[in-house]
Amino acid sequence: MCQRIAASLAVLLTLGANHGFAQEKPPVAETPTKKVPSGAVALVNGQPITRAEYHARLLQKHRGAAEMESVFSQLTNNHLILQEMKRRKIEISDADVEKKFQSLSDQVKAQSQGKTTLEAEMERTGVSMSEFRSQLRYLVGLEALARADFGIAAAEAVPSEKLNLWLAEKRGKATIQKENLPDGVALAVNAEPVYDDEAAQALEKSIGKAECRATVNELIGMHLVQARMREQSITVSPDDVDAEVEVRRKQFAKNPRFAGVDFAQFLQATRQQTLEQMKADEEFRAQVGLKKLVLKQNDAAALEKYFEDNKDLYGPLTRASHILIVASDAGPNGAKPPRTFDEGKAEIEKVQSELQAGGDFATLAKNRSEDTSRAQGGDVGYFPPKGMMDEAFAAAATKLEIGAVSAPVRSSAGWHLIKVTDRKPLPPFAEVRDEVIASLARKLYKEIVGKAEITVEP
């Protein structure tokens, strides 16, 4: 594809191509015996989870993240174009859109010498044809505006540089508000509201179906736990919230991956929330409530018995470092993954050869590993035989002697080389009481979900 066509498509795509229940819970089991009502995304024990609630949660989770900023940029561009078209009374007809579509389609075929088509390019970039045609209307409008402002003749093509310049100039003069907005408004462009529904729908296209479904599951879990809390007259006080924050802060401090990282910075990076926002978050408070349900059902003796019956979840502890080469069976939305497991195995074997030739494990981890632990030379800290790490990873590490390095190990994340650096005996119950409560909370959550009647919108 020639550079000019590629640049036009890039401008079009710029316009709009578009520690919680979701992470640690078991998959929500559906019992689709009832139809999800209009305006809802799920039905949980007969109670709907509304689309407005889902959209608000989706935006809350991603606010401040790169994908949300990209969506806001797209929406800002679209609204600036629409505002200016309305001001100048410029209208784009279906025939105008179809003409542009055919023009781009012919150019792609000609410049690629028939080797690709516009449809193939859209499929490759993950943009549906209906979405493309919808966004094409903005591009046609943008071209009309840029043509008028830069004095470009009707017979001439509008260079992508001029399109980008027009947008940059308008954005520079625009008033764009992202904070302190009314409920239901995600963004304001020159005081014109961009509602949650529009922003969330654009975000859905950006993040993919799996992440959207994870958010629905998160809401399902939150609703189920809150319902059980009401049944058991469980409430969450500010002291309960503060106590849970301290538990998480201590767990965070023990993890070598986060050495030198401030807890508040960690929350901002992983949850897109400040500490105070997390404390007020409904899902976080439901997690606190779930632990209170556990404590209501289990006295000290029951907690200790669970520990005795499930010691593999708590120790003995192995400390290890690893080098990870990421691989998967499929990429986002079923696309080809960046690296298949066969390709990953070939790559990890190259790293293994460097180790066997005398390479330093920590240095190779820093330079070659694709896990965040590379900053610590691959150190992932201490973990028990079960429950914390990938099953295959933990099993391989548990069998190694201190100082030994494993053969390549396949896990759900890809391929690892594992080096065991230390071991500790099973800690006493008092040291892992919080972890025991967390284990029982996950167990209780699974029971609550298993008994629920859940229908999710297709």
Alpha-carbon distances of 305 from 308, 385, 435, rounded to whole Å: 5, 19, 14
H or E segment to which residue 379 belongs: strand 379-383
Which residues, including other chains, have CB under 8 Å from residue 279's CB and lie 6 or more apart? 238, 241, 242, 245
pLDDT at 30: 53
Shortest CA distance to 135 belongs to which of 198, 74, 56? 74
pLDDT at 118: 83
Shortest CA distance to 373 belongs to which of 334, 333, 418? 418
**134 band by pLDDT with thresholds 50, 70 and 90:** confident
Shortest CA distance to 435 belongs to which of 317, 319, 309, 307? 307
pLDDT beyond 60 at 12: no
Shortest CA distance to 338 belongs to which of 325, 353, 324, 357? 325
Q: Are 355 and 408 in contact, with CB atoms under 8 Å apart?
A: no
pTM confidence score = 0.74
- Take residue 242 and report the two structure tokens written for it: 């503060």
CB atoms within 10 A of CB 204: 18
Across residues 158-179, what is the average pLDDT? 93
Instruction: Write the DSSP string, 175-214.
Output: -EE-SS--TTEEEEETTEEEEHHHHHHHHHHHH-HHHHHH
pLDDT beyond 80 at 34: no
Tens-digit pLDDT profile for residues 388-424:
899 999 999 999 999 999 999 999 999 999 999 999 9
The CA distance from 280 to 283, in Å, is 9
The CA distance from 75 to 86, in Å, is 16
pLDDT at 122: 78
More confident residue, 31 or 330: 330
Alpha-carbon distances of 106 from 109, 118, 275, rounded to whole Å: 5, 8, 54
Read off φ and ψ for residue 177, nearest 5 degrees.
-115, 130
Across residues 2-22, what is the average pLDDT? 41
The CA distance from 138 to 3, in Å, is 21
pLDDT beyond 60 at 23: no
**31 band by pLDDT with thresholds 50, 70 and 90:** low
pLDDT at 21: 52
Tell me the residue type at 344: G
Tens-digit pLDDT profile for residues 322-337:
999 999 887 655 556 7
Query: Among 111-125, 180-194, 230-244, where is mean pLDDT lowest?
Result: 111-125
> Domains of the chain, with CATH numbers?
3-207 (no CATH), 315-424 (3.10.50.40)
pLDDT beyond 70 at 449: yes
Query: Among 7-21, 173-187, 402-416, 427-441, where is mean pLDDT lowest?
Result: 7-21
**179 band by pLDDT with thresholds 50, 70 and 90:** confident
Across residues 287-308, what is the average pLDDT? 96
Q: What is the mean pLDDT of the chain?
A: 87
pLDDT beyond 80 at 113: yes
pLDDT at 20: 53
pLDDT at 29: 54
Tens-digit pLDDT profile for residues 74-83:
999 999 999 9
Q: Are 327 and 344 in contact, with CB atoms under 8 Å apart?
A: yes
H or E segment to which residue 439 belongs: helix 429-450
pLDDT beyond 80 at 305: yes
pLDDT at 335: 59
Q: Are 424 and 398 in contact, with CB atoms under 8 Å apart?
A: no
pLDDT at 68: 87
Shortest CA distance to 57 belongs to which of 216, 236, 253? 216
More confident residue, 247 or 13: 247
* High-pLDDT (> 90) share of the chain, %: 59
* High-pLDDT (> 70) share of the chain, %: 91
